Amino acid sequence: MAVNDDRAGASPLIEKRSIDYIPESERHGRLFSQFTLWLGANLQITAIVTGALAVVLGGDVFWSLIGLFVGQVLGGAVMALHGAQGPQLGLPQMISSRVQFGVYGAVVPLVLVCLMYIGFSASGSLLAGQAIAQLLQVEDWVGIVAFAGFIVVLTIFGYRVIHGIGRVASVLGVIAFIYLFYKLLAANDIGALLANKHFSISSFLLAISLSASWQIAFGPYVADYSRYLPSKTSPVKTFWAISLGSVVGAQIAMVFGVLAAALAGSQFAHHEVSFIVGLGGTGIVAALLYFAVAFGKVTITTLNAYGSFMSIATIVSGFRGSRRIPSGVRLLYILVMVAMATTLALLGKDSFLKDFSAFILFLLAFFTPWSAINLVDFYCITKERYDIPALSNPEGRYGRWNRVGLSVYVFGVLIQMPFMSTHFYTGPLVDSLGGTDISWIIGLVVPAALYYWAARKWARPVPDHLILPAESHAPAHTAAVLPVVAATI
């Protein structure tokens, strides 16, 4: 499954690229690094808390575990289909949205992506900050600020360092989870928890929604971390490396969260980190676990900070017509996004569970339509035949605004509202469905079908092959991959 990594040693430690195309001469890396990156990104405390929400919000252990797994598989397939685009295009994920929305129109989903990054970074900083505070015996706010500083440094280094941290986090996460599972299973009657079954369709679908939203939320940046792979890397193998790492890691973490929350009862809320570490022991063991929790948040929070920089750069470059970002501007973007996330973490540290559950579910309303449109266009309409130079030209092939893509996107968001249920908004059709939130299913299926119909009815000229910046005369090196990838799901 590995791809030759001969060029990796010549790559600079500090990344010089940003949202520009990655030339073949700079491609490097192995598919296994995709697996370890996404495994490490999911073996962490926020995934534990997300799984715990299935029980905290009313579900039983048995059906919550099944529902979470179903959501992982569905959402993981969606996010991995995005990730498979990276080696083919050599671009970060969101800049390719200009094909579907226009050079200026892509700003609409990009702004929402930035909000997502800030929200997830805030939650990660809060939980990691709590762990650092316990480890160093300082106030929570000190731990949060210290963690934010560390994230800034790693984000400045970029792609290679992020993958390296991902490998270390994977090993550390596996060791920590094996130990915690051992302590949990040895000290408690898990069979009794599993035997308490009270199936509820609303709770079951909530569990599916929690894990599906967790996976789909990676979609806007998953290709950012596969774009350096050689262009001939198999899309099918890329799909499986990413999806297996993400699904396996998230399911392990969420299973632990379900069991921990069921055992903790009311003790879990507001004490998530200390309760989980307390399951493993005290003294030096607790200190090591607090370190593992904090380090486990490094990978995913760095991904969020790096992704936020890429998104802001994409927004600005769309109006400036350039994809080159000076190092000073790059640093400024990173500092601003991390500062905003840290501020939110400090302000929201006393009501984390309630606000976070609403946040991740509400995100689905904005990202499922984008995901549906992007995947249908890439795999069914253009079949990866993009004109990459035109992505920076508002006067070019993709224009300033794509009315078809934007109209379908807005419709896809609005059509979910009657079916949505969060603690700050409940749609009018939720009660008639027994309190079940099916908005994300509507948000995937309806925009996908509508965009496919509209894009064919109002078809735009599609290049005969993938047009690269420095190789516009060269024939495409790959064919459309949808039939191959779809057959493996």
Closest CA to 123 of 350, 303, 356, 302: 356
Give percent of the chain with pLDDT exceeding 90. 20
- Per-residue pLDDT at 9 exceeds 60: no
Q: Sorting pLDDT into bands at 50, 70 and 90, what band is 485?
A: very low
For residue 13, is it within any domain? no
- Answer whether residue 288 is part of any domain: yes
Residue type, 262: A
CB 342 within 8 A of CB 122: yes
Calculate mean pLDDT across residues 49-75: 90
Say if 322 falls within a structural domain: yes
pLDDT in tens, 356-402: 656 666 766 888 899 999 999 999 999 889 988 888 888 888 988 99
Q: Is residue 6 part of a domain?
A: no
Average of pLDDT values for 231-238?
91
481 lies in some domain: no
Structural domain range at position 282 = 23-354
Is there a domain that residue 412 lies in? no
- pTM assigned to the model: 0.79
Q: Is residue 460 part of a domain?
A: no
The residue among 194 and 289 whose pLDDT is bigger is: 194
Q: What is the pLDDT of residue 454?
A: 94
**Residue 229's CATH number:** 1.10.4160.10
Over 90: is that where the pLDDT of 474 sits? no
Q: What is the arithmetic mean of pLDDT over 268-297?
A: 71
Tell me which of 73 and 160 has the higher pLDDT.
Answer: 73
Q: Is 381 domain-assigned?
A: no
Total structural domains in the chain?
1
Give the C-alpha separation, 334 to 156, whole Å: 8
How far, in Å, CA of 74 to CA of 69, rounded?
9
